[in-house]
Amino acid sequence: MLGARMRTSLYDLVRPPVGWRFDALVVCTYSADLRSVLALPAALLSDRPGGDLQPRAITPAQIAALRRICDRTVIFCQDGAVAGADGLPPAVIELEPLVNAVRLEGGGAFHPKVWLVRFRDDRGRVSLRLAVMSRNLTADRSWDAGVVLEGQPGRTPRDDGLTQLLDALPDMVRRPLRPAQAALVRDLVGQARTTRWIPPKGLARPDLRLICKDQTWLPPPSDSLVVFSPFLTKPALRQLRATRRLALVSRADALDRCWGEAVTAFDRRLVLDPPTGEDDARPGQLHAKIYAWDRGDRRGLAIGSMNATSAAFSGANVEFMAVFDATAALPDGVSSLLDTLAPVLVDHAPEETSTPEETTDDRPARRALSSLDLTLDCAPDGEGWRVSLRAPNPLSDADQAELIGLTFRPATLPLDQACPCLDGLAERQAAEFPTRLALAQITGFIVFASPTIAPFTLRLEVLGVSEDERRRAALQALIPDTRSFLEFVRALLGDDAALQALLNPGGPAAGWAAAAGGMGGGLLELLIRAVADDPQRLELLVEAFDGFGAQEFERLAPPEFRKLWTAVMAAREPA
């Protein structure tokens, strides 16, 4: 069930089964990084695993893939928990509607790690995949745990923690979802409500648990208990009830800070000690959250987002756990779980002279900055654009104290172009960026940092220039010539060979670009199929070509394609 060598990529979880295609995705995560989000389309639209999914440059096929999934994907994350990024491609504008910040009342964290994917086959049948994990949507190398469940919608409705979470999401975001996003979430709620989830071998059907201020959950009183939790608090450890608490697996610094309680409560205190191999130049830390227990002759297992902390146990955070009867998977008891993972675990004791390091918590400063409801004001200035941060209200003395040394920059710019902004916001409620930007560089994703705040990203409202104008500019910047134009068109029409080549540089699709550089390779067939069977995909092309403008379209599209497109548009007109 769990093993030291049983690993999978986050992106492998969302790839469609053979014969199925991606249709919709809802992600709940505490933190996210934008490069990982940019990599999603290649995984969602390809059926091949592996490959480098985080290239520094973005290809025409990837921008086409982004456009294909952007109205079918919604991401929810903790407000202020998007990592700082630098030098992102103009395509990042496509992500702005996808990433939705959640801010909880009372200062708790939005902490679930849940992915719900919908696939369709050629007959229109629907299949759902649910991943409940400890993994965030980042490129972090930590060791995480998760469980993947499959199912198809049926007839009998039944509410559980998943439908409760999905139902609540539209009301939790800082800005209202777009109508299409809200409709997508509602549709998935209805389908999830009638789905009976098929668990992995050895586990019974899941008890899906939403944990929040109105409903909490703890492992039941048991005969023996094993806990995996990277973060700990002393009161939470005292809440765990078992006749024998076999082992607490955590991080060294977390154990050191709670050592008295850990020694009193648990027979063994362990930390992760993975071997360093060719693929593990930097072994990651533990990030898995697992609770396993023996109760009489039954075994229980819970996997998800909940640390052994007061914020999680009290319901101050929003958490999500999948709870199973695991008797068949752990016939010899939960101690066998430790035996299975023994190659990567070692006992831990604090060094006699060591004092636990005090950690700096920059979350209050992030909350203070986010609560200002800043906007990004834009105005044309010669051949570029002038951009400024603006605060709708004066900054309080407390805000200014939290934000000393604050800098900002659009996520499309490199680190060294960050500029100070606190004085401008405090004195004039506006801070102007010192250099002029190209329109394709303007994004609502703004990176903030200070000597006491790690770089993080907020999605601000952009004023003074429309989203459509910025999308057009980004598209023109990313599609500079006829070759890239034809790659973009093919990918938008559903020819995913370029994405296969991206995922498998040495695979059979690697020669795709050379083979498909001209008008051949079935482009006519792709267009005819879109006209006959997939008008929505044709609408994506129409939108993209309108974005290029007539003059740019004529420059990029070869004459034979323009002739073909004219015929397609004529056939598309109603009789």
What's the pLDDT at 575?
44
Unique residue bearing structure tokens 């997939």: 534
| CATH 2.60.40 domain position(s) in the chain | 363-465
What's the pLDDT at 512?
37
Question: Does the pLDDT at position 503 exceed 80?
Answer: no
Question: Does the pLDDT at position 539 exceed 50?
Answer: yes
pLDDT-based confidence at residue 455 (cuts at 50, 70, 90): very high
Question: Does the pLDDT at position 514 exceed 50?
Answer: no
What's the pLDDT at 199?
94
What's the pLDDT at 353?
66
Helix 467-478 crosses helix 60-69 at what angle (to 10 degrees)?
A: 150
Question: Does the pLDDT at position 510 exceed 90?
Answer: no
Average pLDDT over residues 448-471: 95
Average pLDDT over residues 535-553: 86
Question: Does the pLDDT at position 279 exceed 90?
Answer: no
Whether the full predicted model's pTM is greater than 0.85, yes or no, is yes
Q: What is the secondary structure of 216-267 as a DSSP string?
A: ---PPPEEEEEEE-SSB-HHHHHH--EEEEEEEEE-HHHHHHTHHHHHHH-S
* Average confidence score pLDDT of the chain: 88
| Nearest CA among 571, 574, 560, 568 for reference residue 526 | 568
Q: In the chain, pLDDT over 90 holds for what percent of residues?
A: 64
Question: Does the pLDDT at position 69 exceed 70?
Answer: yes
| CATH 3.30.870.10 domain position(s) in the chain | 217-313+320-347
Tell the burial category of 247 from Cβ atoms under 10 Å away from its Cβ (0-12, 13-18, 19+): buried
**Per-residue model confidence as pLDDT tens digits over 228-277:** 999 999 999 999 999 999 999 999 999 999 999 999 999 999 999 987 65
**Per-residue model confidence as pLDDT tens digits over 281-297:** 556 799 999 999 999 99
What's the pLDDT at 275?
73
State the fold for domain 11-209.
Answer: Endonuclease; Chain A (3.30.870)
What's the pLDDT at 225?
97
What is the chain's Cα-based Rg?
Answer: 25
Select 217-313+320-347's CATH number: 3.30.870.10, 3.40.50.1460, 3.40.50.300, 3.40.190.10.
Answer: 3.30.870.10
The answer to whether the CB of 412 falls within 8 A of the CB of 87 is yes
> Which are the contacts of 570, defined by CB distance < 8 A and separation ≥ 6?
none
**Per-residue model confidence as pLDDT tens digits over 295-344:** 999 999 999 999 999 999 999 999 999 999 999 999 999 999 999 999 99
Residue type, 537: R
Average pLDDT over residues 125-151: 94
Minimum mean pLDDT among 23-32, 407-416, 421-430: which range? 421-430
- Using left for φ > 0, alpha for ψ between -120 and 50, and beta otherwise, residue 413 falls in beta
What's the pLDDT at 177?
96
The answer to whether the CB of 292 falls within 8 A of the CB of 225 is yes
Minimum mean pLDDT among 263-272, 421-430, 505-514: which range? 505-514
Q: What is the secondary structure of 384-433 as a DSSP string?
A: EEEEEEE-SSPPPHHHHHHTTT-EEEETTS-GGG-EE-HHHHHHHSEEE-
Average pLDDT over residues 486-514: 62
The enclosing H or E element of 533 equals helix 523-533
* Sign of the torsion formed by the C-alpha atoms of 184, 187, 191 and 194: positive
CATH entry 2.60.40 includes domain 363-465: yes
